[in-house]
Structure 1
Amino acid sequence: MRGQVSDSKSSFSFWKVLLPVAIGLGVVVLMFVHDARKEDIADIWKSINFDSRIIGCVVAGFLCMFGRDFGLTWRFRALTDRKLTWRQAWKVDMLCEFTNCITPSAVGGSSLGMIFLNSQGIEMGRATTLMLTTLFMDELFFVIACPFVVMFTPAADIFASEGSSFSHGIKYTFWIVYMLIAVWTFILFLGIIWKPLWIRKVLDKISGLRWFRKWSSQIQALGANMVATSKELQSKPFGFWLEVFCGTALSWTSRYLVVNALFWGFIPADDKYQWVILARQFVIWVVLMVSPTPGGAGLSEWLFSEYYGDMVGTAGMALILAVFWRLITYYLYLLIGALVVPSWLSKTIDRIRK
């Protein structure tokens, strides 16, 4: 445990907080400079009337993120059979979200989630089991929800302007990443619910290959954790799974609705397109799952501006919306994490030393 906390301490170094901020701001500045050649961004900003509607919708965006946090906090409470208090579960949620902000999307908060749970009194083995379960539920939500969203949304609407290179690119990227998520979800299902011993044998064989020997201990540990997870999860009643999935669905849907709230305030003429706005969020977050930058910094701002540009009318307004979106869904958590994590690390390390 001491070594794991030490690793987590290094994971939260100051430069890892500054890096995504620098990338995100750098991309935004470049996009502002690029768009300034085509239109006057200052005039677009001045044209925005921050009346009660816009202010109310920005507040609604923050409330949507509160819904996201409530969903994940509720899920942690359900997963631990109410052993975590609401405050403890919320703290774990904040720490995981901060990890999401400073690591590539493929790594995410699950990489250190078991340490966060352990710091709140959950035994390390059980904490690993719970984080594998959260990972499975997140992926399962996408696997189930995305086909329904695509089914009820015209392709020309959900994948932006049909026929453009951007439309083709985002469509192909979405389906490729979706298939990878589906395969990974099936592997998790086999590993933690249906055939854990079979998956463990496969992982043990993979760890023995020359190309994977460097990560053999981690691969074998994953197999062992899957077996341990399966023993606990197979005994869970249907009500447990329903509650955990509802918390998962609430958290993701609430996050997506932030964009709906912003459009409702800044682009009221697009009220009739609220479903398309929501549907495109599913595509964006699937694509961002393979983002190489910490927290999707830079890529998120660019993707949002390009993807929603046809619904906004001007590139400048799309970029302004992208900035508000990232302030609510990303930079807020980066700030909260930067304030909470140092204190958490200090208290955890002091407790271990005692």
Structure 2
Amino acid sequence: MDQNKKTILKSFSPVKVLIPVFLGLAATAWLFIKDDKVSELKGLAQANIWWLVAALAVLVVRDFGYMFRIRHLTDKFLTWRNSLDVIMLWEFASAVTPSVVGGTTVATIILNKEGIPLGKSLAYVMLTAVLDNMFFIVAAPIALLVSQGEVFPTFNLDPSDVAKLKSAFYISYGLIAVYTFLMIYALFVKPRAFKWLLLRATSIGFLRKWRVNAFQHGNEIMWASQQLKGKDTAYWTKAIVSTVFVWSARYFLLNCLIAAFVDVDFSEHLLIISRNLIFWIVMLIAITPGGAGIVEMAFPSFFGLFLGGFSSVVVVLYRLITYYPYLILGSVFLPKWISKVFGRQQQESEVNV
């Protein structure tokens, strides 16, 4: 079996799909049972239907933004249909892997199997990671400034828990910043020097076992860097604007869900977006697939101030809209995509013979 096919099937195995489902459902059940909040489900009948429709519309618009971005980054090599396959499978990969790992390896294989050379596939995936992380790096200080210190939740939290939360945020933010600026240096400044640094680092005794991987990663960085040279201003402008658009839509979706249950004024909308940004930066170091279980448990502390008795209901809706559908859609798209790309590959091999 093709090694790439093995990697894809291993990454999307039924066990890896069931683990986040189990963790998420267990955490959700615990939220309702621990404080006897099952009756809160009746609150669904009180939801403003138009805000719920708006949430679904934002979700669709966000995914369209992701499709536009990947199609633009590949210089329109991908068709809209192929872009849909890539985004659905990429989201699927992100949903079944820990946030700190992400679906980058699988995303590279997906792009490569869509006919994009490996060097370019690596470049596009790395560039996407850099763009996303730069959004966090720039937006987080703005959120801290706009919220005037209220961005960190204190609702139902002890001062010690708030301190731990702040520490988790600053650690996560620091790791993102270090990783991103290293990637920028490697991709756009000195790719060969970065490879040399990797090889020098892995020449130390206890790091020698990673030397082969360092050599390979260094080569990948150099390939990717070569592919990104010579891009014009329009290319970078559209890449940056589309990144800001998709992440803004991702965060505003929660605003729509909260507004469906409680009245939210403009300043509260800004605070919710700011908290959502901090929330997801903290969640980036989550060790469970897609943050399953951890997101559900942490959600009431961040947004319970706005929702009161509706926090458990909204977190269920939020995950039902933004997380579980990608597990289902990925399971639908994956067999068809494998049949398409690997079946095509087999046909080409037979023709060449």
TM value normalised by structure 2 = 0.92
The correspondence of residues 122-201 of structure 1 with structure 2, limited to 5 A, is 122-155=116-149, 157-161=150-154, 164-201=159-196
Residues 167-316 of structure 1: matches in 2 within 5 Å?
A: 167-269=162-264, 272-314=267-309
1:105 to 96, 99, 107: 99
Cα distance change on mapping 1:94 and 1:185 into 2, 3 Å: same
| Letter in structure 2 aligned against 1:177 | S
Q: CA deviation at 1:271?
A: 5.9
Q: CA deviation at 1:215?
A: 3.6
**2:318 counterpart residue number:** 325
Q: 1:233 to 1:64 in 2, by over 3 A?
A: same
Q: Distance in 1 between matches of 2:207 and 2:56?
A: 44
- 1:88 Cα shift? 1.0
Query: How far apart are residue 272 of structure 1 and its match?
Result: 4.6
Distance 1:187 1:269 in 2: 40
User: Does the aligned pair in 1 maintain the 2:7–2:106 contact within 8 Å?
Assistant: no
Whole-Å Cα distance in 2 between the matches of residues 209 and 24 of structure 1? Answer: 42
CA distance in structure 2 between the partners assigned to 1:158 and 1:200 by the alignment:
39
8 A Cα contact 2:261 2:307, kept in partner = no
Aligned length: 345
Please say if residues 143 and 274 of structure 2, whose CA atoms lie closer than 8 Å, have aligned partners that are also in contact.
Answer: yes
* Aligned-partner residue type, residue 137 of structure 1: L
Q: What residue in structure 1 maps to residue 4 of structure 2?
A: 4
Contact 1:58 1:265 in 2 (8 A): yes
Report how far residue 230 of structure 1 moved.
Answer: 1.8
Q: Distance in 2 between the 1:31 and 1:351 partners?
A: 47
The answer to whether structure 1 residue 77 and structure 2 residue 71 are counterparts is yes
Cα RMSD of the aligned pairs, angstroms, is 1.8
Structure 2 distance, partners of 1:7, 1:212, is 26
CA distance in 2, matches of 1:75, 1:215: 34
Report deviation, 1:48. 4.3
Note if 1:41 corresponds to 2:38.
yes
Q: 3-state DSSP class of the match of 1:291? A: coil
- Where does residue 347 of structure 1 map in the other structure? 340
Query: Counterpart in 2 of 1:16?
Result: 16
Please give the alpha-carbon distance, in whole angstroms, between the structure 1 residues aligned to 2:62 and 2:212: 35
Are the equivalent residues in 1 in contact too, given 2:85–2:337 (CA < 8 A)?
A: no
Given the superposition, is the C-alpha separation of residues 226 and 265 from structure 1 closer, same or farther in structure 2, using an over 3 Å criterion? same
Report the counterpart of residue 351 of structure 2 in structure 1. none
Cα deviation for residue 270 of structure 1 reads 5.6
2:60 aligns with: 66
Question: Over residues 100-148 of structure 1, what are the superposed CA-to-partner deviations in whole Å (9 max), with x where a residue is unaligned?
Answer: 0000111112121111112221112211111111111111111111111
Change (3 A) 1:24 1:210: farther
**Counterparts of 2:132 and 2:110, CA distance in 1:** 18
Q: Could you say if the C-alpha distance between residues 210 and 27 of structure 1 is closer, same or farther in structure 2, counting changes exceeding 3 Å?
A: farther
Normalization by structure 1: what TM-score?
0.92
2:345 maps to a residue whose letter is I
